[in-house]
Structure 1
């Protein structure tokens, strides 16, 4: 099955303008932009036929082409990364069995997360979209709760039921747990990793579905699938010693740089 990875990137983010062009320093002190690090993360995934950056901004296009990325220009009217992926696939002419949306704010996504995601979707013909979830250890759960107490929109959490079917995704920390956990102790909370694998038919249909109240309130594009009765597969992935965090706010830059230094990522 042919796999395409699309990295949607926009300049005019309401929460963090110009985020794809923010520089991140790795363990060696070398600075690379967020979009370049996301591109390099995509290239490390095995079994992928093609990787493209999808953007509506000339500055991102020029920068991405400068480090060797293939770029597909999309409309400024795309409401989220999934809509941008759908337009990019249409502009490429289709021909892929699975389309992966590696959002441009997740440079720490290890390749096995995406490989597990693709394998999960292939193995479950009833699912139209798959997304990875990572069980929080105590330290990660504490960081999520600290963000919420400080009024920052940090990571997203997921709850799912039988056969991994997604029940809900939220920027709040769910499910509620009043317990205190040690830094490395597993918790019942799952961090949603902002990557998606779609079957092409579901992806093509997505822009035509109505935006529901939950997607509007949470600002989470995957909720459109749930609100329109589509099966979302949550694939549990393993950290294997890797730390994971998405770049949502300026305060996340030093956090991610510290993680990269600790893990020895250049």
Structure 2
């Protein structure tokens, strides 16, 4: 059992820790990838809405009608908002951040200042702004001279996605746990079976060092333990032969000393 803890358990735990780290990283990467995909899908929907509204605005502009006075354009904004249930507001602002057209499912008529800054200062014609609760997307508009004249601002309620995110996180967690358990079991079995000989050798050394020399004859045949036991036996045999030879040499030395003493007398 001690050999199991010294060899198997340490190796298994080390592999498990590495496996947990890798699976945790994969879990995070998959979740971030899903978040990016969902954001791209929503942004694509909002881009379609803003492009459609821009086309309507161009028609109104060609007729020389101010945007805030074009009832048909206001209807287009209302229709675009109701077409996508999670869109809570669509606004048209001028270059000064003033509302020209606003269609909302709530009572509020204000566009957050940070969203206005993004809409009117972004270097990208199609811009977006994201926070914990809403996703803002829009399309900048320009006059006939190519100067910025304002921007379309679309507000999307992200709470509709929270349930989807929670479900995806649950499935990812379940898959990660299942993969870990299966792989951990495989690793345990591989280490247990593959390193059995090593554990046997360690166990043999430990018991032999405590004086259990009978264990040398009980080593399973065909294993590393038997090979190691044979080497120990051979070493013990050589040690005994060397000791016997040393004793014989000592006896000869004593006899020689005795003979030399008698000759001197």
Structure 1 length as normaliser, TM-score? Answer: 0.18
- The structure whose residues are more often strand, as a share, is 1
Higher relative contact order (CA 8 A, sep 6+): 1
Q: Whose helix fraction is larger, Structure 1's or Structure 2's?
A: 2
Query: So what's the TM-score if we normalise by structure 2?
Result: 0.18
